[in-house]
C-alpha cells in the first residue's frame, strides 16, 4: 500500500525542507515528511488536519473538522523517497499524525534512502517493527499527559514506555501547558525510570507570546529538576503554518 500523507495545500503532499524546531535536533536543517492519521486525539493538537476529518467526533479545542480529500493524499514509496532525496539533506524527520501506524510502507520508503539519518516523531503507543527500526537513528517519543484529553489507558501504555526507556535512541519530549503538567512528568519519570538526561519539556503553544510566557516558568523548573527545555523554533521563525 502507498503512504498516506498530510497536505501543504490540496493535492500537494507535505514533504519539505526546514529547520527542525524542537527536540534534541533543534536547529538542524532537515527534510520532513508528514504522514496522516493518528490513534490519539490531543485537544491542543496543532496538526489536527492529519486526523480530525469530517465525521470524526473526537474532541479538539478548535472544533474544526477538516475535509479529508483536501487534507490527505497518497503517494508511492518511490515517489515520496524521490521528493525527499531532491532536497539533498542528510537528515529526515518523519512526523504526523502518528507515523508508526504506517510502518510497513514507511520501511519500504526508508530503504530507498540509505544515506539519510532518520528521526521519527511518535506518541509512543506503537511499537516499531524490526523492518522499520533498522533504518531509524532517533525516536522523539512524546507521551501524552492528562491535559491532552486522551485516556491514560490509551496514551500511556506501561509496556511501550518500558521499551522506549530501554531504547537508547529514544528521547522523551513532553508537551506542557501548566506547572501541574510538568509535575506529572516528574511522576512519570519516577514510575518508569526514565533517565532525566533523555527528557525534554516543551511548552504547548502556536504563537510566540504563549510560548514565551510558558518558557518563563518552564526554564527554571527544568533547571531545578535537571531536565532540558525544548524551544519551538519553527513557530518563532515561521508561525503556525504547514510545510515549515
Q: What pLDDT score does 163 carry? A: 98
From the number of C-beta atoms within 10 Å of its C-beta (0-12, 13-18, 19+), residue 196 rates as middle
Which residues, at least 6 apart from 42, have a Cβ–Cβ distance to it below 8 Å?
60, 144, 148, 149, 150, 175
Adjacency order of strands within the sheet including 228-229: 15-19, 29-34, 91-95, 117-122, 138-141, 170-176, 199-203, 228-229
- Written as nine digits, the cell of 39 is 490513534
Are the CB atoms for 99 and 135 separated by under 8 Å?
Answer: no
* Tens digit of pLDDT at every position of the chain (244 positions): 799 999 999 999 999 999 999 999 999 999 999 999 999 999 999 999 999 999 999 999 999 999 999 999 999 999 999 999 999 999 999 999 999 999 999 999 999 999 999 999 999 999 999 999 999 999 999 999 999 999 999 999 999 999 999 999 999 999 999 999 999 999 999 999 999 999 999 999 999 999 999 999 999 999 999 999 999 999 999 999 999 9
Q: What pLDDT score does 166 carry? A: 98
Which residues, at least 6 apart from 78, have a Cβ–Cβ distance to it below 8 Å?
112
- Written as nine digits, the cell of 145 is 499527559
pTM flag (> 0.95): yes
Q: What pLDDT score does 1 carry? A: 78
Closest alpha carbon to 104 in 135, 71, 79, 125: 135
Q: What pLDDT score does 77 carry? A: 98
Q: Which CATH number fits domain 3-175: 3.20.20.70, 3.40.50.970, 3.40.50.1010, 3.90.25.10?
A: 3.20.20.70
Q: How far apart, in whole angstroms, are the C-alpha atoms of residue 30 and residue 90?
A: 7
Amino acid at each position: 500500500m502507498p503512504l498516506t500523507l498530510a497536505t501543504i495545500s490540496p493535492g500537494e503532499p507535505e514533504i519539505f525542507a526546514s529547520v527542525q524546531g524542537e527536540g534534541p535536533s533543534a536547529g538542524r536543517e532537515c527534510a520532513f515528511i508528514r504522514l496522516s492519521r493518528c490513534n490519539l486525539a490531543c485537544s491542543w493538537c496543532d496538526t489536527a488536519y492529519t486526523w480530525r476529518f469530517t465525521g470524526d467526533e473526537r474532541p479538539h479545542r478548535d472544533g474544526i473538522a477538516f475535509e479529508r480529500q483536501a487534507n490527505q493524499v497518497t503517494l508511492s514509496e518511490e515517489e515520496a523517497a524521490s521528493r525527499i532525496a531532491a532536497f539533498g539533506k542528510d537528515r529526515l524527520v518523519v512526523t504526523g499524525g502518528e507515523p508508526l501506524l504506517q510502518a510497513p510502507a514507511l520501511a519500504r520508503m526508508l530503504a530507498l534512502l540509505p544515506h539519510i539519518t532518520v528521526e521519527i516523531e511518535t506518541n509512543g503507543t506503537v511499537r516499531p517493527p524490526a523492518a522499520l527500526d533498522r533504518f531509524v537513528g532517533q525516536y522523539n517519543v512524546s507521551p501524552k499527559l492528562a491535559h491532552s484529553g486522551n485516556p491514560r489507558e490509551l496514551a500511556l501504555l506501561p509496556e511501550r514506555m518500558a521499551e522506549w526507556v530501554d531504547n537508547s535512541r529514544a528521547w522523551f519530549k513532553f508537551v506542557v501547558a501548566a506547572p501541574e503538567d510538568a509535575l506529572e512528568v516528574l511522576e512519570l519519570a519516577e514510575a518508569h525510570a526514565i533517565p532525566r538526561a533523555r527528557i525534554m519539556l516543551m511548552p504547548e503553544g502556536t504563537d510566540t507570546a504563549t510560548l514565551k510566557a510558558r518558557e518563563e516558568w518552564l526554564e527554571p523548573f527544568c533547571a531545578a529538576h535537571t531536565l532540558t527545555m525544548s524551544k519551538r523554533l519553527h513557530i518563532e521563525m515561521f508561525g503556525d503554518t504547514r510545510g515549515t
